[in-house]
Structure 1
Amino acid sequence: MAKRLGERLIEAGLVSAEAVDQALSHQKITQHRLGDCLVELGLIQEGALLRFLATEFKTRFVSAEKLAQAKIAQEVLDKVPVRMAEKQDFLPIAFDAERRVLSIVMAEPQNEALVKEIAIVTDMAEVFAYVGVRSAIQAGIKKHYYGDPTAFASMQSGASLQQDARKLAGAYEGSDSRLMNSSDVSSRTSTGRSGSGKTSSRVNPTQLREALGAVRGTVGENDFVETLNILVSLFEMPRKEFRGHSAQIARQSQLLARRIGLQPRDVTNVSIAAYLHDLGKKPEKHFTLPLIATSPEAKSEAKRYARAPIKLFETVHLPGGVNAILAQLYEAFDGTGVPQGAKGEDISAGARIIAAVDAFFDVTRNPFNPHGRLLTKSEAIDSMRNSTLFDPVVVDALDVLQSGDLLKQRVEQDGRQVFVADPDEAVRTDLMDSLSKSGIVVQSVIKLDGLIDAVMANEADTIAVGLGYGVGDLVALVQFIRARPESASLPVLVLGDPTDPASRERLVQAGVSSFIPVPLAPDDAANTIRAAYLDRIEHGGLGHTVRGNFDELASLELAKILGASRKSGRLVVRNGPQEGYLQLERGRIVYATWTDKKGEQAISPMLTAPQADFAFDPEALLSDMPNADHDFDLVVRELTK
């Protein structure tokens, strides 16, 4: 078994033959399973191994971080004798009393005899087995059965994982950056306290700056953006018309930046700038390009406040690209803006994007906009097209984004996407169009740096890259991708086939998946890329969280997609103080909560909320006892009657 597993891991590009030999030697000493030995020696990340094993065993996986955070009810633990759990390396995590289904995490989910034995011992109709590493399961047993709060901490200090829990969570969620949980954020945002010692319900700009300064530099860019989301949302909570405004602008601007082909690092800068764009300015007035163009008073005030966010956060040391965007938010494409009167391409792309998105949501959501009434989406787009204030390319991309089609695709594809890079813009455009027609979400980048950023952020699920960048640079790129456990099995297809056999062999040895002939036949190339993309999904490629709101994609339309596709994962819905989630397992709702409602009573009010933000995480697992059992598709049909 160990040799077969090692061979399969080598074939998948997850480890080298030398690594397997080293792990086999370690196995002779420890008597642990080969997979555990590879993790213990740091030769493969826990997340990468679990993804592979979950695919092999046709199940899902649970990381050490998830086990450490799980809330396992005592009645679930009581179903299984602790001695049996310790001996057989498994841990019960959930129990559905109505269907008599027990969910467990085990080191060998392929052991059908053991699964049947567990079903007999527990008197269950079915036992569903997730896969986990032995050391994490044993730590889970110590924590949940014996109440040892240090069980997972001891894993960190020993040689069993050689990765701290946050990095393991990053591997599990498809991100190599450290994660920050809500308690971390709470501790950092409680800088403003009253004399009674209670945390203030409002966060003023100074407190926000201090909170951001505390986390800036200690977390990666993705985590910094997530922290901004939480802190700015707290700051905007008292502003009724603009509650959640900056988060919506940030999300839409980020998607728009990707749509028009900005580099991933620039996309992050756009997102950060969007979260900060209103801070330090007059709360009773919302400055947009249409307002500035029609009101001399507003234009004068906007010029005075243009650099307010930059000054407010100068001690936080924001990326230079963010400051450049913030300084030009009120510059108009026709040169009539402030403070410099910059024009056209002299305005940073990020500023052009945020200005368009901010104006769009102002006229469709704020009744006090310059039009004096709320416009429909189509009216807003037409108004922006007829204006000279906005970049026409940005407005066209915004129109596509607001149709909801892209968000639907992202939900359908579980947040997965293909990245296309080629020096030739025509090649990128034709290939993007062909891939989009097949339902795949695709992003284009111009430089190889953009691909590296996408790989580092774990955002790429398949890469198509042009030979025009040069064999040397492509070899370096592919070697970089193959050297990272999180991306070692990522399909990389080269657009073009070297005529020089030696160059071709260099690319093959580096790990290129295949070559696509040129001149490019876009539809044929798209079919080849799509096949590689689907193969990655079939072999355990993780999905990514998809965020949106019910303005972009109506709640029942979203529900139809999730139900018809028989999705698994967690749908989180937030509308101001109202919050809840649905946990889905293969198209069935197994858990529901909405404000103070639980189970069946929570489903309808959540899915019929007129306005709300949502996040769908296709990899989230249930950490509570199931409280519902409904076919999601049937629920949607009932609600749409």
Structure 2
Amino acid sequence: MSQPLEGGEILDALRARGLLTDDQLRLTMAEAQRSHVRAEEALIVSGAFPEADLLKWLAAHHRTQFVSTEKLSRANVDRQLLRMVPRQLAQRLGVCPILWKQSSGTLAVVAPAATAALEEQVRASSGAQRVQVLIARPAAVRAAIAKHYDGDARAFVPLVGERARKKKRASAAETGSFGALGDANSIPLDGFEDIDDFGFGGGAQGFGGGAQGFAGGATPAFGAGAGFGASPDFAAPAAKPAPAPPPGPPPPSPESTPLVISAPDIMAGLAIGGTDSSPGEARAPSSHPPEAMASEREAYLDMLHVMVTLIERDRKELKDHSVEVARLTGELCDRLGIRGEARHGIVIAAYIHDIGKSGNYHLTALNVSRYEGHRAQAQRSYGTPGRLFGGTKIPKVTLETLDHLYERWDGTGFPGKLAGKDIPLGARIVAIAETFADLTGHDKNPYRRVLQPAEAVNAVQGFAETVFDPSLCRLLKELAMGDLQKKLLADRRTVLLVDPDPDETTVLDIRLSSAGYDVQVARDARDALQRVREADIDAIVSEVELDGGSGFDLLRQIQGTGRSCPVLFVTTRGDRESVNQGFALGAADYLMKPASPEVVVAKVRQLLSKGAGRGIQGSLSEMALPDVVQVLGNGRKTGKLTVRSRAGSGEIHFREGHVWDSSFGSHRGEEAFYALMRIREGEFALDPTLSPGARLIEAPTETLLLEAMRRIDEG
């Protein structure tokens, strides 16, 4: 089945109150599937509800106020306010900041729905003491983001139109602050164009004009006595004051002000920096600009990445384990809105969490919670990384994360027997990231086999509220699903590195992987040739001086297999004769060592810039088949999707996202497609090299999926 409709609970609530008929529901669902929009937007576009009526109902449902599209289109939002909620986070959450009340530290944002989780994420990211969510149409929120963050002055034109905007301005000038709606739950946003500083009214009068602030005239101010009162408090958010600097290393920039993250959804009170700082401690801003600080952090993590990769290259099944834990940790931090020094310190902990822990067992939070031997070893060694790095200028959040890695959500862990949100968020993140990496990386885990991502997510969720933060478990599931979608939409290519020197291949491996390539490594010519015969290799980067034959011999042998695979030599052999020999044999390029990794990656990218992408395989336990079809359709992919199950094998052919043909057993065309959609267990593989022939299915992809779901529901 496809993923649940975002905002679908609103449809259920409207139906329960008898406000939405069966016909309106069908029209709304069809519009949502066709346009890939939230339920609220589909209700408006399908004509089931006028915007004004729906916004009023939603405001009452969420116990807040609303802002009409026309009024929101005239808002002018101060740039300082936008910095409180980074654009990437605003886009992901579907929110746009519109107002800041400095006296109470309250930030007002517009969004299609008001939830506690949303408020918490915005609060933690912005540093505001309180967040108030005002309801707006989903398309209007997207337009507000485009207008204020991206500078698109015409973002609202498709929604309100130039003539409608002029008519509304004239009406507002005659009737006061409410325009056409005249509803006390509506937030009047007239008069933005005339504001020189910040606000949604005239000068110090704030939203509506007059001393009442938001509502204007005689209407009571919005939220009076509870945060949004008289409007003189509303102004552009001032730069955070600079408290007295702590002793020790240079403090971070204002961009890295300590966050207050009360996870699971976001985090509170996480001060990061030198070893002398502590959570919530006052800190002075850095003299370095935020861009310089971010660049330094990125360079530091790059260095750590290379160092840990070298350290772990002989760890057998745990090779690259800590690098994968750091990657997952970084993604979880990004999804939580943790940035700057906070993110930096937590990711450092992910890289070094295993350093110095000797013993027979691999100590993950899950292993330690289940096995007494693991627990005993962990109790002896959990503080080792902290002791090793405690005398350095390492962020305190890093040490906190490492020290509390084996705490449990239910309070039965160690060393502090902390429970729930009392456990540092960094420790909760790294614990779940490491466990997931352990379950999917090798077979020496509690399940004695490598788990598929969906299986690993289910395993982790089985320990939610005992070992792991339940909200982080849910977020991990979203990330695992997102990773598979990225693979489906990506054009992954495989590059084979052939060099006897691990130091040479390590850095290139890292750079090519970061550039989006799958990388394999061979140490000699025999191993390289075997890999070319067994795997789909798109390009080879090889040394000439190899064991088991030279790179030139390898090139000849590859050509003898009939494979078409460009070979780039990166070698210590730089005499003219060798260079000429390489090109004469058909080498794509020839570089002398030491060659910049960035140059090599650029050469590889140039060689592979044309042609179809590499295929991808997956399990239907990771992503249901209708979801796979929807992802390929939205991504406008071309190729053949093969499905294998106990019931048999079938195919779905795509051209630029359209379902072109399908076959399954004796079925062909639409009937084969509908039969395949019933499969729940099995594997799928996408071959993007196939170009479909004659089109046998004319129906749009969305129509096919809706009909498949109808047939499944009817049994």
TM-score by length of 1: 0.35
Q: Whose relative contact order is higher, 1 or 2, with alpha carbons under 8 Å and at least 6 apart?
A: 1
> When you count helix as a share of all residues, which structure comes out higher?
1
Determine which structure has more spread, i.e. the larger CA radius of gyration.
2
